[in-house]
Amino acid sequence: MEFTVQQVAGLLNGEIEGDSRRIIKGLAKIQEATATDIVFLANMLYEPYAYTTKAAAIIVNKDFVPKKQINATLIRVDDAYVAFSQLLNEYQKLMQTTSKKVGIEQPCYISPSAQLGSDIYVGAFAYIGQGVKIGNGVKVYPQVHIGDNTVIGDNTILYPGVKIYHNCTIGKNCTIHAGAVIGSDGFGFAPQADGTYIAVPQVGSVIIEDNVDIGANTVIDRATMGETIIHSGVKLDNLIQVAHNVRIGKNTVIASQTGISGSTEIGENCMIAGQVGFAGHIKVANRTNIGAQAGVMKSIKEENQVLVGSPVIDVKDYMKSFAIFKKLPEMAKRLDAIEKIVTQKPQQ
């Protein structure tokens, strides 16, 4: 890859400040860049590196005001983080074009009843079951299992070791990373009088809509009846558990190690941090932000809240409460001292 700063700025609709003829050959972190790399500055914690970086160009926000001289050429955009993400996407497309995988490797198994689109890739040791429908441009990497009657939309990528059970539906332009499991049985067991449990058959399915990203080793269980639904634009990190009959709204993002209990419904455009736990059969309003390690025990009805703690409360109330909590040891000492004074026997 080799471009000029002028070409990159044109792609990003950016404004150039400096030498537009500089050559860009790679993308890098601002603190590690070489003389032919392009970097970005969005988090001001990294601003000191802007004055020392060897990068050829830095993507910055339009309102960025340098405190010192910067040797790199600046490309000013509305949002530096979004612009650099766009550049990474273009870079990835270029790399995929130059090393494009197509064709069917052997050994693998493809059912005679399966329907395969054009321009697809199927890696060695993949299994494609009866009645499967695979769209155009799909990539099925080695050791992927696709169960009977599953549908995979155009341009979806299934990385090595992905397991998709029967009767699932995956939309277009989805990315499912290694080790993810889609459509495993929901956790349903009925207690018996003798203390044992009997498995409740899970006869539903999983529907994943378009433009969804699913991280490595994430598990999405099939519904007991009906569907578990991941709506379009959802981004799931690694190691997430999505239980039976859960629904996740459009463009919601969820970080690693979060667990969502059965029949919970999470709204659109929510941001869920890592290790959050959701109780079952609750609803979370649109545009809810939930901090790391929070516990959501009941439904959240009001939109646009920022919640932390377990059970969750408003972040401002939490910080006030925590300020008091930190003072408890000193308050306990003072209370003990007051108690000694009050209970001390008067001298005769």
Give the residue numbers marked as catalytic.
Answer: 244
Give the DSSP H or E segment for 316: helix 315-343
**Angle 319-320-322 (CA atoms, 0-180°, nearest 5)?**
60
Burial of 199 (0-12, 13-18, 19+ CB in 10 A): exposed
CB 123, CB 140: distance < 8 Å? yes
| CA-based nearest residue to 261, from 275, 289, 241, 283 | 241
Structure tokens at 314: 């408003």
Give how far Cα 344 sits from Cα of 203, 331, 339, 347, Å: 72, 20, 8, 9
The contacts of residue 242 (CB under 8 Å, 6+ apart) are 218, 219, 220, 221, 228, 230, 236, 248, 260
User: 81 and 62 in contact (C-beta within 8 Å)?
Assistant: no
Where would I find the beta strands (DSSP E) of 188-233?
A: 189-191, 197-199, 205-208, 213-214, 219-221, 227-230
Q: Kindly report the CA angle at 266 between 262 and 270, in degrees rounded to 5? A: 145
Structure tokens at 340: 């000694």
